[in-house]
Amino acid sequence: MMMNVFKRLSAVSMIAGLSVLTACGGNSASGNVTAADGAATVPAADAAPASSAPVTIEFWYGLGGKLGENMESLIQKFNASQQEVIVKGIVQADYTETEQKLQAAIATGQVPAAVLSSNIDWARKGYFAAMDELIAGQPDFNQADFVQTFLSQGQVDGKQYFLPMYGTTQVMYYRKDAFEKSGIDASQIKTWEDLAAAAKKMTVTEGGKTSFYGWEPMWGSGNMIDAVLSKGGNILSEDGKTVTIDSPEWIETWDFFRQAIHEEKTMRIHSGGQGWEYWYKTIDDVMKGQAAGYTGSSGDQGDLDFSIVSAMEQPGWAGVGEGKPVAQAIMAGIPAKAGDAEQQAAMKWLTYFTNSENTAFWSINTGYISVRQSALEDPAFVTFSETNPQIKIPLQQASHASAPFQDPTGGKINDALTIAADKVQIENIPAAEALKEAQQTAQAALDKLK
């Protein structure tokens, strides 16, 4: 799932009354704590030595489809590789649900030991454990080998609170037959204007209705924010005091998408549904021959058939330059209320997942970007990239990408953008109107920090 900006990574409000998922001994109580399956315990000080049984921990993640299958595969591989830790994967619907349920778990103290989720505001409030000492206890961690752009995204006030599990950026996937039929050369699509012209050429209308769409952006603010950044727009002024999401760059870009969706009907979006439902409906449209292409995550590659589709980078804008979409690390954290033994077990698991071989495996099988530099030299990755050039597209795009926005309001600016995006994409409200309202809401939230 951006979060952005990537698979609908929206911030959520603090909700105290959410139902609680029972976690595996996720607290600092001194007595024996039984795992969810009864398979192992964290012994009290006067119990048997810790070596008598592995520490069982829960790892929460919101991944579906082949992403979830690959995660489970690595969990099983880790469990079989050693006898000190047993990881139980607990699947959530998506990233947002993971954060919501984690919030409820934090309120009760019954937390998982590790979670595929990150929230800088929560780290500052003490909800996540700082990892520096835990990292120092892992002799094979090799911190310098991480892609530093990704590693730095997990740092808060000089400390490492989150570990990048994989990197993501949204790229373009297109049907080769649709482009060929319309005489379109993907290598010549350098700008969004080029893409709009290609989409118009490929769109098929029957009986006044579009039966084949030239392009499908992904629902949410992510795609449109990427395009704004490529046009030179920013979310905040240089001094960080003014929200600038109603500037001409924003209005022109978001109206570009609104007009294509609602007026020209050369593009469309799928919205709503449970979890990643809207995402997979978009993919299905392309794979089933109902659309020429879509903008989606680098992590979609595991769900695509590249005998049918190919990949290309997001374009820039005429007269501006190459695209500058966001490249973001999807990170994992360790809740502060997890016990000491569980935190150490969690770090052992996260270190294993991010080693060179496994981050290369994840990239090969999902399309996400490896978080270690050495993964690019992994023999399996080198061999795969020679026959599957699409795996290189996210890496190439990340080389000129924008950093993800760190919302100083704890998510209120991102929330305002999410609401505005729905107004533009779903309700056909002019971008100037939707963004002006969003700017006022976001500015009010920012002003409260002064």
What does the pLDDT look like over 178-209, one tens digit per residue? 999 999 999 999 999 999 999 999 999 998 89
Name the residue ranges covered by the structural domains of the chain.
33-168+328-398, 170-326+406-447
pLDDT for residue 149: 84
Decide if 290 contacts 374 (C-beta within 8 A): no
The DSSP letter of residue 72 is: H
pLDDT for residue 410: 87
Q: Please state whether the predicted TM-score (pTM) of the whole model is above 0.85.
A: no
pLDDT value at 89 more than 70: yes
User: 51 falls in which pLDDT band (50, 70, 90)?
Assistant: low
Decide if 58 contacts 27 (C-beta within 8 A): no
pLDDT value at 419 more than 60: yes
User: 28 falls in which pLDDT band (50, 70, 90)?
Assistant: very low
pLDDT for residue 395: 83
CA–CA distances in Å: residue 42 to residues 76, 80, 109, 128, 133: 21, 20, 16, 20, 21
Using alpha carbons, select from 334, 313, 332, 310 the residue that is nearest to residue 323.
313
The residues that bridge with 210 in the sheet, in sequence order, are 205
The Cα–Cα gap between 352 and 332 comes to 13
197-247: pLDDT as tens digits: 999 999 999 988 999 999 999 999 999 999 999 999 999 999 999 999 999
The Cα–Cα gap between 58 and 61 comes to 10
CATH 3.40.190.10 for domain 170-326+406-447, yes or no, is yes
Strand pairing class (204-206; 162-175): unpaired
pLDDT for residue 81: 98
Average pLDDT score over the chain: 89
- 322 CB burial (10 A radius; 0-12, 13-18, 19+): middle
* Topology agreement, domain 33-168+328-398 and domain 170-326+406-447: yes
pLDDT value at 92 more than 60: yes
Decide if 285 contacts 213 (C-beta within 8 A): yes
Who has greater pLDDT, 10 or 253? Answer: 253
The Cα–Cα gap between 3 and 326 comes to 10
> Any residues with CB less than 8 A from the CB of 46 and at least 6 apart, and which?
none
pLDDT value at 25 more than 80: no
Give the position of tokens 């002064």.
450
Classify the phi-psi angles of 185: left when phi > 0, otherwise alpha if psi is within -120 to 50, otherwise beta: beta
- Mean pLDDT across 353-380: 94
Who has greater pLDDT, 437 or 26? Answer: 437
**Within 10 A of 53 (CB to CB), how many other CB atoms are there?**
18
CA 254 to chain centre: 22
pLDDT for residue 270: 98
pLDDT for residue 350: 98
pLDDT for residue 2: 39
Question: Which of 27-36, 139-148, 184-193 is predicted most confidently?
Answer: 184-193
User: 13 falls in which pLDDT band (50, 70, 90)?
Assistant: very low
From 3.40.50.720, 3.20.20.240, 1.10.3720.10, 3.40.190.10, which CATH number describes the 33-168+328-398 domain? 3.40.190.10
User: 302 falls in which pLDDT band (50, 70, 90)?
Assistant: confident
pLDDT for residue 42: 39
The residues that bridge with 89 in the sheet, in sequence order, are 59
